[in-house]
Each structure stands twice: as C-alpha cells, then as structure tokens.
Structure 1
C-alpha cells in the first residue's frame, strides 16, 4: 500500500482509483494527473473501473506486452483510449455522474491547447493527439478533426465495445495495433548507436567521447524507472500522461554495486526522494554514498570492471599530482594564505579578562580579596572560521578528458581550506540510469583525508538542478550553522532522464541546454534563500560561460589553467567569506 511516501495530491489520486475500483490498498499500474499536478478525477475513475471490471492481470499483461518498446508512450496513450471507451459504456448506466465527468475532461483537453508553445506542439505525438481530439470532440458533440482514411479507421477501432470481456477487449486492442502497423507483438527497444574500437583507438576515443559503463541491454536514453527505497515496486508517477509501473530493483542494485551502499537507510532515502524528486525531477532517484561496498551483495562483472577502472584512474590522478607537486603545493600555500588573511579580517573581536590591558574597575576588588590578578580587559580576536564548506565536483562523462586536473583542483581547494581550520567535505556527482549519485570523497570528520579526493573519476551524466537540491539536504549535517556550497563545474547540465510532462513542459523536455540551465539557476536561488552561500569555479568552454553567469551570478570565477586556480578561487572564496560574516 503506497501511502507512506506519497504527496497529498498523489494520495488523492490513489483514493480516486480505489473508490472507483471498490477495492483498496492495491498499487495501480497507472496514475493520472493534470498538467498542473492535480489528480485527473475522470481518468483515475476509468483506471479504477478497469480494475473493477477486468481485474489486475488483463491490463498488466496488455501494457506489459510493449514495455520497453520504442513506441511505448504512444501505445500506452492509444490503449487507454480503447479502455476508456469500453469502460464508459459499461459504467454510464450504473454511474450517472460519469457522463458529466467525461464532458468536463473533454473540455479541459481542448482548454490546454491555448497554453502550448510552438516547441511543445512539435514535441507532441501527432497521431495520439489526433486520436484524442477525435474522441473528445465526439464526446462534446462537435465535428471530428480533419483525418486521413487511416486515422478514421484507427479512431473507429479504438472505440471498443463495453460488451467485450477482459480477454476479448485486450485482443481487440492488440488486433487494432497489428492491423494499423503500430505493434506486431514484439517489443523493440530503441537501438543505441554503438561504435567499437580496439587497442589505441579505444583508449583515445574514451578520452573524447562521453561513455557509460552500463548494461547496454538495460539502459536506454530516456528510460524512466521508479522504485521504493525499501525494495519492491513503487509507482512511477508522471504529470499529464500515463506511465507504466516499472521495477527499478535492477537499476538500484547496479548503482549500489558500482558506487557503494547508501549513506541513508531505505526508508529515509525514500522520504528524501519523495521531498526532492518532484517537478522537473519527478521520476528521478538520489543515491548518497561514501563508496563503501555492501559486503553482503555479490559484485557483478560490470561493477567489478568499473571498480578496476576507477582504481586505475585514481592512480593516474595521484601520479599527475606528484609530477607537478611543486606547482600544486605553491598553489595551496598561496590560497591558504589568502583564506587565512580574510578570516582574520572578518573575525569577531571579543573582550576577555587578562592580567594586563585596560583596567576593569568593577573587578579591582578581586585582586585584594581573592588574589585574582585578572582585573584588566583586553580585546581578543576569534580566528576560528565559523563556517563550513561543501565542495562539489562535477563527475559527468564530459569531464573525462580532464579527470586528473579536476582531482588536483579539488585537492588544492580542500587542503587549503583544511589548513585554515575550515571544515570541508568533498563530494563528486554524476547521474546514471535516472539516479543522481553524490559520492562523498572526504567527509568533515576526515581531518587528514584530502588525499581521498584522488579517488575521483568521471562517468555518466549531470543533473545539476537535482544535485543542488540534494546539496540542501547534505548541508543539514554540516558542523557549523554558516555554510558555503562551492562547485567545480562546466555549467552544462545534461541528463538522459527527460523532464516529465507538467508545468512549463506539458509534454516533457530533454534535461539539457536552456531547460537544464534555468533549472540549475532556480535551485541556486532556492539555496540562497535558505541562507546557504553558493559559488562556483567554472572550468568549461567559452560557449557555456554565459550559462555559468546565469546560474551562479557574480559568485562565479573562471579558470582556464591550473596556475589561475589560486588567484581566481582565492578572490571568489574571499568574497563568500565576507558574505558569511555579514
């Protein structure tokens, strides 16, 4: 019964389905919400009635037949038109209010047309839209839209009779899909582009091409999976459309095998996801880890290979640092001096009792009575930093060509802060299979653990907005109240998991380019409103410089080479320290 970690809106939708089904506590395969996120009463009623009339197995087998097919979203929508027609014919006589709900749903369908941009219209599946428009125009008693003969016949075929039993109805849907060349019974996943290189070519190409070490027969671009933190199935709830429930156990096990077990127990992680994986991040997952493997879980061949390559990259990182250690040590000294001086400038001046200084008249009696010579006052400066830093390193595959440099930059920043007594935690981030992974390389308690940062490696994608949301969760465990989040980034958000339909994107959108930049900028503003300072060291290309400025504003410093790090980062951190002291 999926009520513990669902929102109020989702609980309303579940109750609508359960009420229509006359059965409570089951986990429906589909959930309907409007573009604004509110439960769609009519379609949720239809979902429940399908359960009541045809049971659980018929829809599960029907929609499962084309699960993972490249046309799955289109087939889902068309199948629901067929089921809706059949269920309405069955229910209308015994549920008079259903006719009015159907009319309202039809009106709402056309009302949303006026809110769509040109890009959103282009993104919509035109066959699905034509079939939906024909259905809802018919409900409203209006003339059908202009359709080809093929579309007219398909529309008629999707008007399934309510007299059919479950098996016959499923057969009618499958037959319609076959007759109109939509689905022949064999699910065909979208084939990924694969280029195979051997020897030196393989080594060279992995430096310049984004790659992921994954099960290619499982991972597909735009794959959306969902799972509960405690194992078992959980609803994959999407806005403004239906989505088949999928079991994410395989993906979750893969993430854990590759990156290590979660820092949070399943129930707590599920609650965090429920709070943070909303809006443009609905359907995504989070994984907080320190890289420690679960000794009770068997390692797969893929994860063992990733572990080996990560260990090899760590060796490269350490070797590259050792090669230019003199340059890097000088950078640490320069940066630490700048930070230390700034801390002293902004330190709090306190007055304390002393044996010399300015006479404190009310305490003079203590010298004669209790032989206490501390009858003077003097000013003392508290040089303790009074703030902590969370350093976040972009570890997506776009950083593969400069992993050694990023590891060195992270080490320099962390070690400089540590030498000044600033508590610092270093975390790398990437996303894979819908999971945004935050891997803690050095914790606050690791007083001399900066060398662990050389365990940095890059893989996968980067969903910057969700990382920033997760940073808001991370900083809750910071040892001091004043907190700075500092990112080392190329300011190019890009994730294979699409933005789900809803809000500004009624038909979904790729998480990239403007959508990704705007989301990241929004999350930076949200963190700052919570009194968390956010700044970035930008290491990307010229084309992304404007995006970096949009996301981070003036709290962004660009470096093009390692010798610029101390100066640029020093100026940036000094400005943030000044802000923290205000």
Structure 2
C-alpha cells in the first residue's frame, strides 16, 4: 500500500485487509494504495460519516464504494505497474473459490461476484436487478474525480436500496420513502466537505469503526437484511471464524499466559454481555515470539514516532518526572511519620506529672498516632482503540512519565493497553508490577487501532489486581467515554444480544466499575473525549473521574488523585 500510494504516513483501514489468502491480501493492499493515490480518500471517509449520520446503511454504502473505487483505480495502477495484472488475476481466482460459502440472496454479494467475472472476461448469468446494478457501477468508471464518483454512488444507493431513518434522524423503524425524506441531500455533504475539518470527522466517527462491512470479502457474509437496521453485527461462517482465531497471535503477538490459564480467565470474565468474547493477553509482536515481520515493522514505526515526540521535549518531560516523583515521595514520607500528641491516656510523661491537682491541663500522657495508610499498587489501563489515534504520542508520553515517577518512588505499577479485534479483547502489557525501570521504555510501543470493549478490559484487568497483597489497590482508566465494539455472529443465527455500543456498552462498563469498587479497588476514570460524551463518562465512573482537555496533564492529574487517596 505504501509503495503504490507513495505516502508512508498512511495506514490501511481494518476493512481493507483480507484473510482469504496471501494473494487476496496483496491485491487488497495494492488497491488500498491506489485509492489513496487516485482518490481523495479523506473525502470518501467524510462522505460515509455524513451519510451514516442521516440514516444510510453503512455496510451497503461501503460495499458500493469498494466496488466503484476498485473500478476507477485498477486500470490506472496496471498502466503504471503491469505486474499488478497478474496479482489481480491470482486474487480473483482465490476470491471466486470462496463464493460458495456466501449467501446468494444478497444483492451486493451477487453484484460483486458478477463484477469479478466480468473483469476476467466471463459473462455471468444474473437476475435483472443484479445486472442493472452492475451496469450502473461500471458506468462510474468514467468519473472525472472523487466527488463525481460519490455523487454517482448516492444515486445508486437511492435507486436500489431502502433508506432507514426516523423523522428526527435517529435509527429506528424502517421507513421506505422518497429519497429526500428527512436526510438532506448531496449538497449537505458538499457543505461539510468545504468547511469541516477532516480530522474532526475522523474523531466523531472513525472510519475504522464503520468499515467492518468491507470485511465481507475476507471473512464471510455481512448479510444485508431489508427488514432491520444495522447493529454492527458481523456474520462470519464457522470455518472462517476458526481461521481468524488462529491469526490473533500472528497480528498481536503470542500470549504470555499458558493456554490453560487463558481458558480459566475467559471462563471467569467472558460472561453476560461478553459471553461470546475471548481474551488475548500479550506483550506485543516485538517482545513475544512472532513471525509477522510486517506487523513488527509497523509497531516499531509507531514506537519511533512516539520516541521522537518524547525526545523533542526531553528536558521538559524529564523535569516533570522528577517533579512528580518528589511530590509523591514527600507525601509518602510525611504520612509515614508518627504523630505524638498529649492525651488523657497512653504513655506517661514524667516531667508533666507536676500538673496533677495544680493545673487545669491534666494531660500527662502522650499518644502515638500511626499515619501509615498501608502499601499501594497502581494499574494504568489505556484505551488503544482507533479513536485515540490523534493523541497517540501524547498518551504514550504521559503514561511513561507517570510510570517513571511511580517506579522511582517505589510504588508497584503495571501499564496496559486494550483494543478489540473482532470478538477478541486484546490486552497488551507494557510493564508488569515487578518490572525494572528500563521496562517503562516499552510504553512507547503504544499504538491505536480497532474498537474498544471497556467493560471486559476492566473486568480482566481487575483479576490480577485483586491478587496483589497491597492494602490499597488503584486502577486508572484512560478512555474517551465511548465503549464501542462490533459483535461477531456465526452464520445467520439470530442473537438477541445487541452489539456492544451506546447504552448497552455504557451500562456494562459502569457495572464493571462498580463491581471493582465493591471488591475494594479504587477506580479513577480519566476522560479525554468530547464534551458531548461527558455524560456517558459520568454514568460510568460516577464522581471519581477527571476531565482533561489537554492530554499533557494526564500524569499530573493522576499524581494529584493518588496524593488525595494517601492523605485521606
């Protein structure tokens, strides 16, 4: 993708990756590079977000965009690099061999199948509706620019697919009406395109969160149901699901827990809303045995970016570490000093005995008050989902500063990051409680991708924290107040559980926070999101949360909280 696009700052979205075969994965990387070179990809992202807000089905929309953009970029890439023709042929052979697994009543899948046959010179026998949709998509190949392509996709969507929306724009009952009902039109998107900051759009609704529809090529059928709205449920065939599970360690690094311990952990925590989920505990691809050289290079690239940001202001950050360490040390020493106060009972003071019957102050004893609050242990749990990407280096630096200060002052601490890959919640360990000071450098491996299942991550993290012998167990959770994850379903089996998002996700995360507190863990939520999500953060963490608009104050805020705990 980097080679084709020529832009080494770009990343592939999750929906552009494939698990069918190496040939298909290579072809998808080529087309991903072509999209970024020949199409204004930020405009496409903004268009999907804009249309999804007003009720368009994102899975259908992304499917149309994938087919239309491939039509536009493929021939241009082949003209520049003739060898891509052979790559495409091998990929199409592998894709076609997988179509027997897919459901045949899906209009998008039938059209995609027919389009591939058309490209390799065959004449597919299809129904009238599929043929019309195919011809309309082929007509987009002549689009002069990205905006013309998107305008054509908008017309195709309104021609072939129903629109789900309520009058107020929220998701609800299916309403099949005229194409202008309650949704605005293409000119609304054009106004956003002209005036809206693309980074703000990415924050509001990350393309990675809505690109799961493109996974249909690779992992099964994301079936389009004409009678219900999308609930972020990805339908995957049983045999493909097992293949995906085999890939988790390949992409994220091997688990540092033995298989039997992983199963025991999953039996304890993967219940209720997480009943179909799994846990993967890893030190990452760099520090665990991994044969995935590409992923290792990818993580090292982010590591270098984080380290460069730290070195750019090294003196300032070093001063902050020493300042926080000294502040914590003074508080701990002060609280460990035993106070001796005059009292009516306790240890007698001989030189005060003259007061007996001679003075109204007859306190001739001294009492020693022990201020020792007991020992402390701290867990730092960081949201590593794609929504944190713009703060990535800042979060890594602040977590490093905090871990350095705590380690230097002698407080055991562990630093973890969490994200999700399909129904796996991946928890990456950067440092453990007894790790040496040098292990804090691992925190710079922090990078953001995927979704986030906060409730399960908190529940799994607390399992080890509860085993610690320290008197005061503290969990610091850094997040944007938006727990959000897709749900993986097998085949077309109906499942009554909703996808992990919105109220379902907030209530579950709040439940896990309260359970942790009932078990004696002090939980602080550090909120780094938008004000519109502030209420969700309050519902989750109650009064023990901190809202910081500037992520560079994260370590300072946490130290202040820890000092309050020690003093009170």
TM-score range, shorter chain: 0.5 to 0.7
Residue 262 (str. 1) matches residue 255 (str. 2): yes
Q: TM-score, normalised by structure 2?
A: 0.53
Match of 2:449 among 453, 459, 475: 459
Q: Secondary structure at the match of 2:451?
A: coil
CA positional deviation for 1:288: 0.8
Per-residue deviation at 1:392? 0.6
Per-residue Cα deviation, 1:140-172 (whole angstroms, up to 9, x for no partner): xxxxxxxxxxxxxxxxxxxxxxxxxxxxxxxxx
5 Å-filtered alignment, 1:150-169, equals none
Aligned to 2:513: 524
Provide the secondary structure at the position in 1 that maps to 2:485.
strand
Distance across 2 between alignment mates of 1:540 and 1:378: 49
Match of 1:541 among 527, 530, 549: 530
Paired position in structure 1 for 2:487: 497
**Would you say 1:288 and 2:281 are equivalent positions?**
yes
The corresponding residue for 1:227 is: none
* Equivalent position SS for 1:472: helix
Between the aligned partners of 1:432 and 1:539, the Cα distance in structure 2 is: 22
2:319 paired residue number = 330
Instruction: Give the whole-Å Cα distance in 2 for the aligned partners of 1:70 and 1:457.
Output: 39
Q: Quick one: structure 1 residues 295 and 436, their matched pair in 2 at CA, closer, same or farther if it must change by over 3 Å? A: closer
Matched, 1:306 2:299: no
SS in 2 for 1:491: coil
Matched, 1:320 2:313: no
User: Would the aligned equivalents of 1:384 and 1:421 in 2 still touch at CA under 8 Å?
Assistant: no
Equivalent in the alignment of 1:77: none
Is contact 2:420–2:450 with CA below 8 Å preserved after alignment?
Answer: yes
Work out whether residues 388 and 424 of structure 1, in 8 Å CA contact, stay in contact via their aligned partners in 2.
yes
Indicate the SS of the match to 1:461. coil
Say if 1:439 and 1:548 are closer, same or farther in 2 by CA, change over 3 A.
Answer: same
Question: CA contact under 8 A between 2:399 and 2:555: conserved in structure 1?
Answer: no
TM-score normalised by L of structure 1: 0.51
Deviations 1:365-418 (A, max 9, x none): xxxxxxxxxxxx997978796011010111001111111011011111111211
Match of 2:386 among 397, 407, 430: 397
Q: Secondary structure at the match of 1:495?
A: coil
What are the superposed Cα offsets for residues 329-378 of structure 1, whole Å, 9 maximum, x if unpaired? 23323333333343345437499xxxxxx9999xxxxxxxxxxxxxxx99
- Is this contact kept in 2: 1:498–1:509, CA < 8 A? no
Report the 3-state secondary structure (helix = DSSP H, G, I; strand = E; otherwise coil) of the residue aligned with 1:536: strand
Determine the C-alpha separation between the residues in 1 that align with 2:432 and 2:541.
25
* Residue 407 of structure 2 is aligned to residue 418 of structure 1: yes
Runs of 5+ unmatched residues, structure 1: 1-63, 73-121, 126-201, 224-241, 352-357, 362-376
Contact 1:123 1:507 in 2 (8 A): no
Of 568, 579, 582, 2:557 maps to 568
Residue in 2 that maps onto 1:218: 218
Which secondary structure does the structure 1 equivalent of 2:499 belong to?
Answer: strand
Q: Specify which of 555, 565, 569 is matched with residue 544 of structure 2.
A: 555
- What's the offset of the Cα at 1:552? 1.1
Over 3 Å counting, the alpha-carbon distance change for 1:554 and 1:327 in structure 2 is farther
Q: Distance in 2 between matches of 1:563 and 1:477?
A: 32
Q: Give the superposition deviation at 1:572.
A: 2.1
Alpha-carbon distance in structure 2 between the residues aligned to 1:506 and 1:204: 34
Q: For 1:447 and 1:71, locate their aligned partners in 2 and report how far apart those are by CA, in whole Å.
A: 58
- Distance 1:249-1:345 versus aligned 2 partners, 3 A rule: farther
Q: CA deviation at 1:67?
A: 5.9
Distance 1:549 1:263, change over 3 A: same
Which aligned pairs between 1:465-504 and structure 2 lie closer than 5 A?
465-478=455-468, 480-497=470-487
* Deviations 1:74-96, CA, capped at 9 Å, x for gaps: xxxxxxxxxxxxxxxxxxxxxxx
Q: Does structure 1 retain, via aligned residues, the 8 Å contact 2:255–2:280?
A: yes
CA contact 1:347–1:385 (8 Å) conserved in 2: no
Q: Which residue of 1 aligns with 2:24?
A: none
Task: Quickly say closer, same or farther: Cα 1:338–1:294, change in 2 above 3 A.
Answer: closer
Q: Deviations over 1:525-551 (max 9, x none)?
A: 011111111112211111111111111
For the Cα contact (< 8 Å) 1:410–1:453, is it kept in 2? Answer: yes
Shift of the alpha carbon at 1:476? 4.0
Residue pair 1:347, 1:383 contacting (<8 A) in 2 also: yes
Give the distance between the partners of 1:286 and 1:439, measured in 2 at CA: 11
